[in-house]
């Protein structure tokens, strides 16, 4: 499984793209939120706040459940543990790769290995350079 969250959201499972099947913009936002928070407990109020902020729909529970159902269908066989997304251990997620590259760059700087530091920093920069979040004010 490969997941790209920076820039255009892309989901690839077993070599097939699934992102076009996400239930609209809110489905993409839900998938991004659950992917980023996949190692933490997520509550229903957390999901509502992430999806709608201070302006929830008239029936937020129904809307949230419909989005979750659509997401589950889109990414099966990827499982959920309650509301927590349980990506396979082999999943590649771009923001995790960027975070790892930052760590490698910082470690290389501490060792004075400037070439390694530059290479690792470029990996992270290239991954997050696609992110429209800074310019658009997009919230996760």
17 in the same domain as 81? yes
Statement: residue 25 has pLDDT above 50: yes
Burial class (CB in 10 A: 0-12, 13-18, 19+), 105: buried
The total number of structural domains in the chain stands at 2
How many residues in the chain? 140
85 in the same domain as 101? no
77 in the same domain as 28? yes
* Tokens linked to 79: 């499982």
The residue segments making up the domain with residue 14 are: 2-92
Of 56, 76, 92, the residue at which a domain comes to its end is 92
109 in the same domain as 88? no
Tens of pLDDT, residues 3-17: 999 888 999 999 999
DSSP conformational letter for 8? S
User: Which pLDDT does position 125 carry in this prediction?
Assistant: 87
The answer to whether residues 124 and 98 touch, using CB atoms and an 8 Å cutoff, is yes
List alpha helices for the chain, DSSP H: 24-36, 44-52, 60-75, 94-110, 114-128, 133-136
pTM for the model stands at 0.83
User: Which pLDDT does position 7 carry in this prediction?
Assistant: 84
* Tokens linked to 13: 């499972």
Q: How far apart are CA 85 and CA 78, in angstroms?
A: 8
- Say whether 76 sits in a helix, a strand or coil: coil
Statement: residue 129 has pLDDT above 90: no
123 in the same domain as 84? no
More confident residue, 105 or 135: 105
Query: Which CATH number do you get for residue 47?
Result: 1.10.10.10
Tens of pLDDT, residues 45-90: 999 999 999 999 999 999 999 999 999 999 999 999 989 999 999 9
The answer to whether residues 9 and 32 touch, using CB atoms and an 8 Å cutoff, is yes
32 in the same domain as 85? yes
51 in the same domain as 114? no
């Amino acid at each position: 499984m490969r997941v790209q969250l920076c820039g255009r959201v892309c989901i690839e499972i077993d070599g097939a793209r699934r992102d076009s099947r996400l239930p609209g913009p809110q489905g993409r936002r839900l998938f991004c939120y659950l992917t980023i928070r996949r190692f933490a407990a997520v509550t229903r109020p957390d999901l509502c706040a992430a999806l709608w902020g201070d302006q929830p729909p008239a029936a937020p529970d129904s809307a949230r459940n419909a989005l979750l159902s659509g997401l589950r269908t889109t990414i099966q066989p990827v499982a959920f543990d309650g509301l927590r997304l349980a990506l396979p251990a082999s999943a590649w997620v771009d923001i995790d790769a960027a975070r790892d590259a930052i760590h490698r760059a910082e470690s290389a700087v501490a060792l004075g290995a400037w070439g390694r530091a530059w290479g690792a920093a470029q990996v992270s920069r290239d991954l997050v350079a696609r992110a429209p979040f800074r310019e658009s004010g997009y919230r996760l």
